[in-house]
């Protein structure tokens, strides 16, 4: 059981889930956005907040129309909730490390990074593999960022600029986008909202006043590449995927971008921080 200045009487893991929901609602000011961020249902978020309010014996949020407004109690509780979440994660990780001599490390990589930079990135971590249980997930940039914020991922690799103050990052490698495929085709193959390339694609279309007659959304670079190689459609893709099987053209420096390595700003695990520092010392090896 957990007891502190708020007299919690809920077990650690259950309280952790309530705290996660509280932080998400407080930061997004929305139960719906919090549910999407945590990949759970909105009724579950509502239940978590009600349970937490029952524990604290005070309301945390007030609904005014579509607005969700934190109470004074929520404002006071927010920094403690952050501290609790990080403390609980660190405690579990330290105990797991003592019991198993390994820590769980999950890397989330965007589609472009996963198939181009990730193999070299993992190879750099080889000296640490005896001390970590490593797993890798391929997601879009927005999902990677959410995973870092929710502590579901310890390391992220994305090509989307970071604006969140709860994450820290460093550049890993340069990249440039190209216009590829059948330039006369009325069909555009476009990555989904949340992907790193989505913003650049729409910026290109607006810049050139292009209004695609037909647009197909695809959530995977491999599908887009397979279509381009068959001469079907056109798209913006990373130059890292280019070969001689389809035409392409450079877009200029405004469509250059960087891949970033990111982690949560409150990360305190010394082994994980050592790994990130090791990668940072070898960024010149990424091309």
Give residue 98's pLDDT: 66
For 12-98, the fitting CATH number among 2.40.50.140, 3.40.50.300, 3.40.50.80, 1.10.10.10 is 1.10.10.10
Mean pLDDT taken over the chain: 88
User: 8 pLDDT band (50/70/90 cuts)?
Assistant: very low
For 100-172+258-285, the fitting CATH number among 3.30.200.20, 3.30.70.270, 3.40.190.10, 3.90.1300.10 is 3.40.190.10
CA 9 to CA 247: how far, in whole Å? Answer: 64
How large is the average pLDDT for residues 61-68? Answer: 88
Task: Name the residue ranges covered by the structural domains of the chain.
Answer: 12-98, 100-172+258-285, 175-257
Give residue 90's pLDDT: 77
Of the candidates 201, 196, 200, 238, which has an alpha carbon nearest to the alpha carbon of residue 216?
A: 201
CATH architecture of 175-257: 3-Layer(aba) Sandwich (3.40)
User: 26 pLDDT band (50/70/90 cuts)?
Assistant: very high
Give residue 102's pLDDT: 78
Q: Are 129 and 99 in contact (CB under 8 A)?
A: no
Q: What is the DSSP letter of 271?
A: H
Give residue 69's pLDDT: 93
Q: What is the DSSP letter of 283?
A: G
pLDDT of residue 3 exceeding 70: no
User: 161 pLDDT band (50/70/90 cuts)?
Assistant: low
DSSP secondary structure string, 190-253?
EEPTTSHHHHHHHHHHHHTT---SEEEEES-HHHHHHHHHTT--EEEEEGGG--TTS-EEE--G
Percentage of the chain modeled with pLDDT above 70: 92
Give residue 4's pLDDT: 43
CA 261 to CA 177: how far, in whole Å? Answer: 19
User: 283 pLDDT band (50/70/90 cuts)?
Assistant: very high
Between these two residues, 36 and 93, which has the higher pLDDT value? 36
Give residue 58's pLDDT: 93
Angle at 238 between CA 237 and CA 239, to 5 degrees: 115
Q: Are strands 103-109 and 132-138 parallel, antiparallel or unpaired?
A: parallel
CA 273 to CA 6: how far, in whole Å? Answer: 32
How large is the average pLDDT for residues 263-278? Answer: 92
Q: Are 62 and 53 in contact (CB under 8 A)?
A: no
Give residue 165's pLDDT: 86
Give residue 66's pLDDT: 81
Work out the number of other CB atoms within 10 angstroms of the CB of residue 253: 7
User: 21 pLDDT band (50/70/90 cuts)?
Assistant: very high
Please write the tens of the pLDDT for every residue from 213-261: 899 999 889 999 999 999 999 999 999 998 888 999 999 899 998 999 9
Fold match, 12-98 / 100-172+258-285: no
Give residue 99's pLDDT: 65
Q: Report the DSSP beta bridge partners of residue 103.
A: 132
Please write the tens of the pLDDT for every residue from 69-94: 999 999 999 999 988 888 887 777 77
How large is the average pLDDT for residues 89-109? Answer: 78
Between these two residues, 208 and 97, which has the higher pLDDT value? 208
Percentage of the chain modeled with pLDDT above 90: 62
| Main-chain dihedrals φ then ψ at residue 154, nearest 5 degrees | -100, -30
SS3 276: helix
How large is the average pLDDT for residues 192-200? Answer: 85
């Amino acid at each position: 059981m957990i007891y502190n200045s708020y007299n919690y009487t809920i077990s650690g893991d259950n309280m952790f889930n309530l705290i996660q929901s509280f932080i998400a609602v407080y930061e997004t000011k929305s139960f719906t956005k919090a549910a999407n961020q945590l990949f759970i249902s909105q009724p579950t978020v509502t239940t978590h907040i009600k349970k937490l309010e029952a524990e604290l014996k005070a309301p945390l949020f007030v609904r005014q129309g579509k607005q969700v407004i934190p109470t004074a109690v929520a404002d006071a509780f927010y920094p403690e909730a952050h501290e609790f979440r990080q403390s609980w994660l660190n405690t579990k990780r330290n105990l797991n490390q003592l019991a198993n001599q390994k820590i769980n490390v999950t890397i989330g990589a965007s589609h472009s990074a996963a198939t181009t930079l990730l193999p070299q990135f993992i190879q750099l971590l080889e000296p640490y593999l005896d001390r970590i249980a490593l797993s890798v997930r391929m997601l879009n940039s927005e999902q990677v960022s959410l995973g870092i914020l929710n502590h579901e991922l310890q390391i992220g690799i994305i090509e989307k600029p970071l604006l969140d103050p709860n994450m820290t990052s460093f550049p890993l490698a340069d990249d440039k986008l190209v216009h590829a495929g059948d330039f006369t085709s009325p069909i555009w193959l476009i990555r989904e909202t949340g992907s790193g390339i989505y913003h650049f694609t729409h910026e290109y279309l607006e810049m050139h006043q292009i209004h695609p007659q037909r647009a197909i959304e695809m959530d995977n670079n491999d599908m887009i590449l397979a279509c381009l190689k068959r001469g079907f459609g056109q798209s913006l893709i990373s130059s890292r995927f280019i070969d001689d099987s389809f035409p392409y053209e450079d877009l200029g420096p405004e469509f250059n971008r960087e891949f970033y390595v990111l982690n949560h700003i409150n990360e305190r695990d010394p082994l994980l921080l050592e790994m990130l520092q090791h990668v940072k010392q070898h960024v010149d090896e990424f091309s």
